Amino acid sequence: MAWHLFRLGRWSFVHRRITVVVWLLLLVLAGVGAATLSGKTTDSFTLQGMESTDAFELVEERSPGAGADGATARIVFQAPEGESLTDPANRAAVGEALALVETANVDHVADPFTTGTVSEDGTVAYAAVNYSTPPGEVDAADHDALDAVKESADAAGITAVVGGDAAGADLHDDLAEVIGIGVAFVVLAVTLGSLVAAGMPLVTAVIGVGIGAASIAALSGFAELNSVTPALGTMLGLAVGIDYALFILSRYQHEVRAGRPLAEAAGASVGTAGSAVVFAGLTVIIALLGLAITGIDFLVQMGVAAAAMVALAVLISLTLLPAFLGFAGRRVVRERKRTAEDGQADRQDPATTGAGGRRWAKAVSKHRIVALVGGVAVAAVLSLPLGSMQLAILDNGVAPAGSDSRVAHDLIADNFGEGMNGPLLVVVDTAGADDKLGAVDAVHATLAASDGEISALVPPLADDSAEARAALAGQLDAVDLADFTIIPEGGPSAPGTKDLVDSLRADLADLPDLTGATAMVTGQTAVGVDISQELADVFPLYLLVVVGLAFVLLVLVFRSVLVPLKAALGFLLSVGVALGCTVAVFQWGWLNGLIGLDATSPVLFILPLLLTGVLFGLAMDYEVFLVTRMREAYVHGTEARQAVVDGFAHSGRVVTAAALIMFGVFAGFALGDDSIIKTIGFALAVGVLADAFLVRMLIVPAVMAIVGKHIWWLPRWLDRALPNLDVEGEALAGKLGPPPGSPTAAVAAAEAAPEAGAGAVGSSPAATRHPVS
């Protein structure tokens, strides 16, 4: 494999113009596709087969066009100071403003003065607007109408803000990308020692993200995509794209300093570091595609899109980066100070290579028991908050302070109660009941007797008059459906609201046997509860499959059983730290002001599963990059414990830089405004720091120093059965020979001189075995 990658890297270097043109054409084509084919994304999370979504489908089936799962907007009005909205002039102004919201997609606008959604003091009122289209399909005309409502109210001196899923959200944050790129440039410049070199990984990563993001945008014209999908893809594509290019470019600098011709150095860097990039990328792709196991559409979309971004990053690092190196030549290589007249004595001296990393690895190896116990103890302490983690769909209560969504949420919560932001709906299907009115009465009695945290219960009957009952009976004869609205005491993400959903379903479980009718608890809050439970149920299977597949891949890479096992166990520590810190900051409120939060909330319901998939892939990245150099030293004859030190000396500095870059990218998204992306970015940033510095750079070398050569144990039968992938590039090194001018090359030339004659003295084995130019 290393040989084939060598040829690919060298070909890209030599044919650099063709390579660059092909990638730029792909970028242009993707951009044209995005401009002409892109559609809208949705902010909602849905899943088929749950009680909550089954209820929506039943309503749509019985009453087509009812818009049970359509978008909703909540327009909140606030009277001028010292006035009331019930004053005739203000009431008329509200009515005029609401008249502007009517569009072809609006099913119903609830007048607050008719429905009673006016606060007791008359200063605040809200109108619910129901759309026939899902949240992702609310078009520009609908948004313009909502803006017109706000402008009309403002002209009358009334404050109007819009909340709800119809208002939409922009999850793309240019500032987050700027922060990530800025941090990456500084780290790259320090690590690589050249501004030209620092710019290359950034350019290749941005081109890859541009192609991927534009392709996702074009795809949105053919399939409904969640709005988190492009944001997650951008986040990952940028992070791994920079990191993968960094590893190859760093190896290129090493090969050039060692004396290889430029084209051969490019090929050798792709053949060695590029092999690690391929397998690191494969682990990330496996983890992301593994989300398909959940069977949850929006998670599958996220996984496939992010995996495609990672695959693009790998391909660009293997081809476009060598092409750029062909244009730059030696300008990306900072020459080190020469300590001998020929300037080559120190280039390959192990004692001076990665001195800082070497000292660190020696210290960890010397105090390996303390390092292992201390590292595990720190990880355990940081993971403690995980025990109190609560999951929910995040509501507008954690939206940026001052935003319309947040102001609307807070005004409703302060004036009508938290539960008004997340009402529940109980849909009663009376198709199988002999006494349909009696079945509805039974549901009413059951709900009224519930000991859950209910603030208000709104039955389908406005009163118990004969006229009202006759009207409900006619409705039941027509569609066999009735619905109750329940206002919880807590907000949509409150633990008590989840408990209320569970208790209501338990109370209504016997209804079919008693009356023949069926009652289902639904509403967006119930959808969130159901999805959270579905994710919790599928999580063990996902973890087993993904870790199992990656374990097999790592056995192939390292030809060891214990190294993959150690990698997987270390990953669990990283996930524990990431989730524990996320709970402490987002749920407990510790230091949350540092990332722009001013409210606490449960953890995003998709985070544990999504974090596990993404972070597992990234953790295996560091494992591959760090341990590959250790194995490379070991297979070339270095003693096992010394191989850990030598491998760390070569790769520790680059892995540190890669981790800082990835942290910077994720931290940039954590500082953004959107609560979903903020949560994902924060968890990944903490997870990367924990995995790179606590696990891979402390616990891993400590374990390997304790186990010694046994860490590379592999049963003989398995060793014979496994293909030799040559990730370390041993076969490639044999074909290329040592770099010209290196001590090894000088020895080889001296040994060959008596046989080859005087003309062979000083010639390069690499040049004679495999001429490049």
Contacts for 446 with CB less than 8 Å, ≥ 6 apart? 507, 508, 511
Helices (H), strands (E): how many in the chain?
28, 12
- pLDDT confidence of residue 734: 66
Query: From CA 648, how far away is CA 183, in angstroms rounded?
Result: 24
Strands, E assignment, 349-495: 391-392, 424-429, 454-458, 481-488
In the chain, the N- to C-terminal Cα span, in Å, equals 22
Q: Using 70 as the pLDDT threshold, list the residues of the chain that sit under it.
A: 39-47, 64-69, 135-137, 167-176, 335-354, 725-731, 733-734, 737-773
pLDDT score recorded for residue 10:
94
| Amino acid 741: pLDDT | 55
The tokens describing 190, both together, are 């320090």
The CB-side HSE value for 451 (13 A sphere, CA atoms) comes to 0
Overall pTM > 0.75: yes
Q: What is the pLDDT of residue 69?
A: 61
Q: Please, which residues bridge with residue 458 across strands? A: 485
The SS3 call for residue 772 is coil
- DSSP-derived letter for residue 602 is P
| Domains in the chain, CATH or no CATH each | 2-39+171-393+530-721 (1.20.1640.10), 65-167 (3.30.70), 423-522 (3.30.70), 737-769 (no CATH)
- SS3 label, residue 433: coil
The 10s digit of each residue's pLDDT in 434-447 is 899 999 999 999 99
Beta strands across the sheet bearing 159-163: 106-109, 124-131, 72-78, 159-163
Q: Which residues of 144-161 are buried (b: 16+ CB within 10 A; e: fewer)?
A: ebbeebbebbeebebebb
- What is the reported pLDDT for 159? 92
Buried b / exposed e along 502-535 (16+ C-beta atoms within 10 A): ebbbebbeebeeebbbbbbbbbbbbbbbbbbbbb
Q: 42 - beta bridge partners? A: 226
Q: With CA atoms as reference, report the closest residue to 163 among 445, 518, 413.
A: 413
Kindly report the CA angle at 740 between 739 and 743, in degrees rounded to 5? 80
Looking at residue 24, its pLDDT comes to: 95
> Looking up tokens 């409705």, which residue turns up?
475
Q: For residues 443 and 505, what is the distance between their CA atoms, to the nearest angstrom? A: 11
pLDDT on residue 174? 59
